[in-house]
Structure 1
């Protein structure tokens, strides 16, 4: 599943009789055969009377042939179905917890009141069912859902508690974009996981707490070394970084361009032609790729750009090197077709005026090397504005309908910053105009240098607060999170 240098080193070592020790050698010997990309089941709420059921359950998953792993999933052993909802509808989701521990389901990117959000305040005890009715009142977009259990988010998501949610509306349909689910409209939930002799393991230790869990094996929709058959025409890819901590730096191996058409909040005003795309944990993007030339090509990622130097040295020693890793290989099918033109215009967004902001708030995500951080106690420097998360404390109080400027920065490394219950736009990055990738409506953004966000608060959160936090999940669990009310 590796490209270039690693494949060469592996073949050379095996041919020359060089011993490759332990789990790494097992992985190399068993990961060569490509597997067809799994496409999660699609559940369209309108086809089910606006009532959807999710069962949060343990299971066993064979990521490698003949090797089972203990996993978690929604309606299955790993990950969950894709839920499709329609703007203007009210959708009931009955979530039953069949685990031996508490959980939650957070609707990441859905603009709904705080008591429906699925954060740590909406705990679902073992054996209980939570039945929120979700009002869908936002433009078409790619969202996702995942566990947000207090102090257990990282481990539960790592074990498999995540899935895709698609919002659709009439404006998007009128554009006649690729929309045949699993054919020319393909979900790609990208993750990295650690394996030993073919079984999933949970990395532990101080470095994991400091920098987040990273694995030695890439997966898409729970498939290792996947390939996907696609029609020889324009195809839409819904990219979700579902990793706990890894950043993906995506590009096609033949250097072909593609068009970025949607951010977390939905369609951009105009498609943007790119040749590479960086996604941090929690970020999503929709791209259009032209496969009409019929040539197979691989979507690959470079080394994690947010890995501390020491971990990069460890990767090199483990024969992973600095080459690009395969994410998924695409194999166009059928006769070549004429190139479908990418729309020049997508949507026109109403732009907020920064002068309407009534308040400026500053947030710094901090992490420390203290004993509390090493022991995972949520202290020792993990926090926001010097305070570690306390579920009994509301950190900020916001007025319903208010517009504010939030200035966010991060210490020691880049952090993906996520705000529940809102979409925001980026005003500036490090005092300069936003980067090209900062455009669109966002709910998750990468920060290290100070970034100014223009936020309007239109969802109430009086009975239960919203969260803001780093979306490196181990940082979140260890205290890099705050909460705010809206009333």
Structure 2
């Protein structure tokens, strides 16, 4: 049945009356004897906190097969990069809790929308919702439906949040369900779904997805990690005892920032912070670019990274990398081994976003201080040269997707207006009342993405992973199974190109969901479209 579509201003009034790529190492040199320090000429950001340890985010784990959590978005006093101000965040924290689930768990996320006026980004109440990025679950209510938006409880009967010029937002009417899920009151909605028993393990994340207001809400700090646990224990049990760090990378325009300046980048809300390791120690770093617009390209002076998984997809064998290229929305799980005693800069390298792109200069995000007794990492290094175990339980499987026959080919073009303020997919601005592509369960499509603009874009599609078959030569992003991929900019009139194989094979994804640029400024200003997945066609004899 076609969802009921209504104009958002009508919906809100009614409701108020009644919410890494990687750069492969060129050598086989093992990361067990590196040394080096940050140079005196290294650039730092305008705000640096001296001698502050990078904190670990809190976490909420499922208990007895169920995760129950309430996430409230509202203005709160936060400290980011050493500055104190009021911003809209989840549960009063710029770095909200990491949600940790297991395969087969039931998930209940009760979202309360009280988004309102703050010191940055948002000057009044705004509609909002929650999208669980990377989760291969139903796009229908009460699960991961990005078209359901809730009014703010702070709106006093009127929504004051601004919309991008020329954008008329529409939404699907929130529904209430007999089990208590769905719409609970005007600004409260309980998302409810199950983690599939064969779901990809690893890093995913959550953030608002109310079109036209996604960028200001995520820039404010409304984003956090969602982990499907068991990855290391199941496939690298020899590493299960290692210290795990979760690093949430975010970009922000701090109070007083000038228009056009590079955004401030932080790790867990800290700029210039410290992490500690012992010589020879291995640690697991779970890293997510859960920011709005910025690219990160992480490098640790004198060290390399063993990549174990990308966008929640487990690699069958670790890959050694010099740096970790992470467009907005991308995630990576890596192992790092500390070198000799010393202090090592953790940098985000310069990213060339194109002549029309926003600046992404090199900055020092923090440092790793190596001190204390040495640890013998020989056995761990040998293990990292071997494949994952229990490979039969790894889903999805790269080779399986490679072997799928293609049923249809499409070319999809990303473009923008001359003034760079309006963005298009196939020449059209987003309209959630329109189905741009219709497929059936079982279809496997090859999409060639063309970027005719002179700035990078980032492709993301909800509800599934795709296979990156080809990307412009020398592009820093990674091929393989992904859900977020860099889309290179045009050079001398030749469009940037990425070729994907997209398997619409999971019956859980029947419904409507978007694909879009994950530079959220671009998404909000039109660079999004909708795919409708219909049930599998059953042939009759």
- One fold, TM greater than 0.5? yes
Q: Which residue of 1 aligns with 2:91?
A: 75
Other structure's SS at 2:400 match: coil
Aligned match for 1:443, one of 469, 478, 483: 483
Partner Cα distance (2:64, 2:277) in 1: 26
Other structure's SS at 2:215 match: helix
Residue pair 1:45, 1:52 contacting (<8 A) in 2 also: no
- 1:385 aligns to 2:426 (yes or no): yes
Question: Aligned pair in 2 of structure 1 residues 32, 436: CA closer, same or farther (>3 Å)?
Answer: closer
Q: Which residue of 2 aligns with 1:225?
A: 272
Aligned-pair CA distance for 1:178: 4.6
- 1:146 aligns to 2:207 (yes or no): yes
Aligned-pair CA distance for 1:441: 1.9
Aligned-pair CA distance for 1:106: 0.8
Partner Cα distance (1:238, 1:170) in 2: 11
- 1:419 aligns to 2:461 (yes or no): yes
Q: Which residue of 1 aligns with 2:35?
A: none
- 1:345 aligns to 2:387 (yes or no): yes
Q: Deviations over 1:124-152 (max 9, x none)?
A: 33242221222212121111111111100
Aligned match for 1:185, one of 244, 254, 273: 244
Q: Which residue of 2 aligns with 1:319?
A: none
Q: Which residue of 1 aligns with 2:162?
A: none
Residue pair 2:72, 2:113 contacting (<8 A) in 1 also: yes
How many residues are aligned here? 431
Partner Cα distance (2:256, 2:78) in 1: 9
**After the TM superposition, which residues 246-395 of structure 1 pair with which residues of structure 2 at under 5 Å, given as runs?**
246-254=294-302, 256-291=303-338, 293-306=340-353, 308=355, 324-332=362-370, 334-339=372-377, 340-341=380-381, 342-343=383-384, 344-346=386-388, 348=391, 349=397, 350-353=399-402, 356-370=405-419, 373-374=420-421, 379=422, 382-395=423-436
- 1:478 aligns to 2:503 (yes or no): no
Question: Aligned pair in 2 of structure 1 residues 467, 258: CA closer, same or farther (>3 Å)?
Answer: same
**After the TM superposition, which residues 33-112 of structure 1 pair with which residues of structure 2 at under 5 Å, given as runs?**
33-46=50-63, 49-63=66-80, 65=82, 67-99=83-115, 100-112=125-137
Residue pair 1:246, 1:304 contacting (<8 A) in 2 also: no
Q: Which residue of 2 aligns with 1:236?
A: 284
Residue pair 2:342, 2:371 contacting (<8 A) in 1 also: no
Q: Which runs of 5+ in 2 are unaligned?
A: 1-37, 116-124, 154-186, 392-396, 489-495, 535-541
Q: Which residue of 2 aligns with 1:126?
A: 152
Partner Cα distance (2:272, 2:189) in 1: 36
Question: Aligned pair in 2 of structure 1 residues 87, 293: CA closer, same or farther (>3 Å)?
Answer: farther
Aligned-pair CA distance for 1:294: 4.4
Q: Which runs of 5+ in 1 are unaligned?
A: 11-26, 316-321
Aligned-pair CA distance for 1:336: 1.5
Residue pair 1:3, 1:326 contacting (<8 A) in 2 also: no
RMSD: 2.8
Other structure's SS at 1:413 match: coil
Structure 1 residues 475-484 or 445-454, which shifts more? 445-454
Residue pair 1:354, 1:454 contacting (<8 A) in 2 also: no
Residue pair 2:66, 2:105 contacting (<8 A) in 1 also: no
TM-score normalised to the size of structure 2? 0.73
Partner Cα distance (1:214, 1:117) in 2: 36
Aligned-pair CA distance for 1:409: 1.9
Partner Cα distance (1:70, 1:40) in 2: 20
**After the TM superposition, which residues 449-460 of structure 1 pair with which residues of structure 2 at under 5 Å, given as runs?**
449-457=496-504, 458-460=506-508
Partner Cα distance (1:303, 1:358) in 2: 40
Aligned-pair CA distance for 1:108: 0.5
